[in-house]
Copies of this chain bind each other. A is one copy, B any other.
Amino acid sequence: MQKATLTILGCGSSLPTNKNFPSSQLLEIRDKQYLIDCGEGTQIRMRQMGLKTSRMGHIFISHLHGDHCFGLIGLISTFGMLNRTADLHIHAHPDLEKIIDTQLQYFCSGLAFKIIFHAINPRKHELIFEDRSVQVFSIPLKHRVPTCGFLFEEKPRERHIIREMIDFYQIPTWRILKIKQGEDFVTEDGEIIPNDRLTTAPELPKRFAYCSDTAYSEKIIPIIKGVDCLYHEATFMEDEILRAKETQHSTARQTAEIAKKANVKKLIIGHYSARYNNQNELLNEARAVFQNTILGEDMTVYEV
């Protein structure tokens, strides 16, 4: 089953709490894992959840505040100890490479895998990566330092084979791939069997958007329009709107406004300020504006 899932490893903000580690999420689409942000303790959360990370080739860092990247060096170092050999790609603001390089040289000499940095320009909305399964676009955000979110767009999925029809027309195995991709089948007698008699339509490709950290910004709406799942920070409640503005964060109500205006299918909030013991208050504030809001929680898996 080709589900797309989002595992929240940490959805706290800069001060860790009893409940929340700093930002980090693992997005799984088809057979691939994409790590989004890597706050301190990311590798610990993975271990606590028993996650295998061999299918993780790409890490996307939204911005260079510590609560979004301090876990990188530990993760890389552990990959080294686990004898990883596959390339590791890091997509981030170009400054990251310089900062982490001193540490890599000191702590991670002789790694058996390559680390390849890809510089992101956080001010531009553009395609920053694609593989067989997804395209990833940057989403310029509004924060105290250059920051971008990420839009993951799954590529069209293959159609589902109707086993009985394949048997009935005795279609050879080597034709199946093309049929999954939508081709008709031509029998030895020249009869054309239309594809929709052999297959059923696949699920629609999933779209997931990650927007953290950011002040309220309507500019992102056209980019995230109609996504299946939006993760958007909701650091504060509305009564702290001045503090939100000053620190370039969003309130739960503002976040819900964005979700509503972008007509997304589902909103997950997170990046809660450590001041909120009862995060349900943030949830309620958001739900008053956008009903289908979910309270993000650490070590929890969500269907995209």
Q: B-contacting residues of A (Cβ < 8 Å)?
A: 14-18, 21, 40-41, 43-44, 47-48, 50, 64-66, 70-71, 73-74, 77-78, 81-82, 95, 98-99, 102-103, 106-107
Tell me how far the C-beta of A93 lies from the nearest C-beta in chain B, rounded to whole angstroms: 11
Nearest-neighbour CB distance to chain B for A50, whole angstroms, equals 8
Looking at A18, A41, A48, A78, the one whose CB has the most chain B CB atoms below 10 A away is A41
Q: Is the interface of A mostly helix, strand, loop or mixed?
A: helix
- Report the copy number of this chain in the oligomer: 2
Chain B residues whose CB sits within 8 angstroms of the CB of A50 once the complex forms? 18
Write out the residue numbers on chain B whose beta carbons fall within 8 Å of the beta carbon of A15. Answer: 47, 78, 81-82
Contact yes or no, B98 A47, CB < 8 A: no
> What are 7 A-B pairs at a CB distance below 8 A?
A15-B47, A40-B41, A44-B44, A64-B106, A64-B107, A66-B107, A103-B103
Q: A65-B107, A102-B98 are in contact. Are A81 and B40 (CB under 8 A)?
A: no
Q: Report the bound CA distance from A95 to B50 in whole Å.
A: 34
Residues of B within 8 A of A16 (CB): 43-44, 47, 78
Hey, which chain B residues are within 8 Å of A17, CB to CB?
47
Q: Which of A64, A66, A77, A81 has the most CB of B within 10 A?
A: A66
